[in-house]
Chains A and B, each alone.
Chain A
Amino acid sequence: MNGASGELRRVEDTLANLPAPVRLILFIQTFECDTCPAARRILNEVARLSPQITVDEYNLVLDREKASEFGIERVPALAFVGKADTGIRFYGVPEGYELASLIDAIRLTAAGQADLLPESQALVASVDRPMHVQVFVTPT
């Protein structure tokens, strides 16, 4: 119980100090998506913790233009938009350990700064063509 409330406190502290607005673009669909309601619930709970966070919800089936704009093909999906689209997407329900990743992505989106080591920063800046990095994770 203490662990869970400690985690919640860290989440609240991080979200209470966001330096800039973050838009979370959630894509769901009404049918054949068992996990979409859970994704929506978690996002709305997180958004309540900061006035800087807004959640825009779209339906993958009905809002095809929006899905295409963000390159979304499966749900639940989440796109992170700060001053511009960050190119970060989450697929699935961000719960368990993945909740920490969600908060991290929100914090980075608001900050707009990567905080990489200087040598990493230079390497990353050298990527001059589109690149897609997929990271497979599990919540437990």
Chain B
Amino acid sequence: MSLALRMAIANPNIKVSIVEATEFPELVRRYQISGVPKTVVDDRVEILGALPEEMFVPQVVQAASDA
């Protein structure tokens, strides 16, 4: 999630929320979280697991351009 934090620092258009899943069961249900880390971009695109930077950043940015 450090990568997500860095993306928020780099671009003010990007808001990043780190959610401790066990404390927010309603969000776990809404986003169907069955494993962590799980990244959800704009409520639509899901990225599972911890990816290296060269994979994570393009996937998140691609999610934005698909909207």
The interface of chain A, by Cβ under 8 A from chain B, is 35, 71, 74, 84, 86-94, 98, 101, 104-105, 108-109, 111-117, 119-121, 123-139
Contact = CB atoms under 8 A, between A and B. Distances in A.
Contacts of A127: 11, 13-14, 61, 64
Interface residues on B, range: 35 or more
A109 B64 contact: no
Contact of A87 (B1, B16, B37): B16
A136 B21 contact: yes
Given A89-B16, A131-B13, A136 B5 contact: no
Contacts of B67: 129
Interface in B10-67: 10-24, 27-28, 31, 33, 36-43, 53-54, 57-58, 60-61, 63-64, 67
A91 B19 contact: yes
Given A98-B20, A135-B16, A126 B57 contact: no
A105 B16 CA distance: 11
9 contacts: A84-B12, A92-B22, A101-B1, A117-B57, A119-B54, A127-B11, A129-B67, A131-B63, A138-B22
Contacts of B21: 136-138
Nearest first, the 3 closest Cβ-Cβ pairs linking A and B are A92-B20, A114-B10, A87-B15
Contacts of B60: 131, 133
A86 B9 contact: yes
